[in-house]
Amino acid sequence: MQLQYFLILAAALFCIGIYGLINSRNAVRVLMSVELMLNAVNLNLMAFSNYLDPIDVKGQVFTVFVIAIAAAEAAVGLAIVLAIYRNRDTVDMEQFNLLKW
């Protein structure tokens, strides 16, 4: 029964991340929501690794990869937010319509 607890917990965290991703006006908060979703995926991987594959822990290997990619994503994303802030003088997601139409 423990596996289901962790999976439901990860699902809840992922849904909170989606809600924040869509509804945030601040660009930095959008990046934070992306981090929440990545953490939910990591929690899933770790739960599967512990309960379904405890001998060779491949889920932990994937989690380490995801953590590395998430660090790179955070660095590049925040640099993009800084560049947009320099150009547009705002962090409002509603005004980032350079490529929209």
Report d(CA 43, CA 7) in Å as an integer. Answer: 8
32 binds other proteins (CB under 8 A): yes
Q: Is 34 in the site for other proteins (CB under 8 A)?
A: no
Q: What are the CB-based long-range contacts (under 8 Å, 24+) for 93-99?
A: 93/24, 93/25, 93/26, 93/27, 93/30, 94/25, 96/27
- According to CB under 8 A, which one of 17, 96, 97, 98 is a site residue for other proteins? 17
Q: Give the 3-state secondary structure of residue 57.
A: coil
CA 37 – CA 92 distance, rounded (Å)? 21
Site for other proteins in 48-77 (CB under 8 A): 49-58, 60-61, 63-65, 67-76
Minimum distance from residue 81 beta carbon to other proteins (Å): 6
- Which one of 80, 96, 100, 101 is in contact with other proteins (CB under 8 A)? 80
Please report how close the Cβ of residue 49 comes to other proteins at its closest, in angstroms. Answer: 7
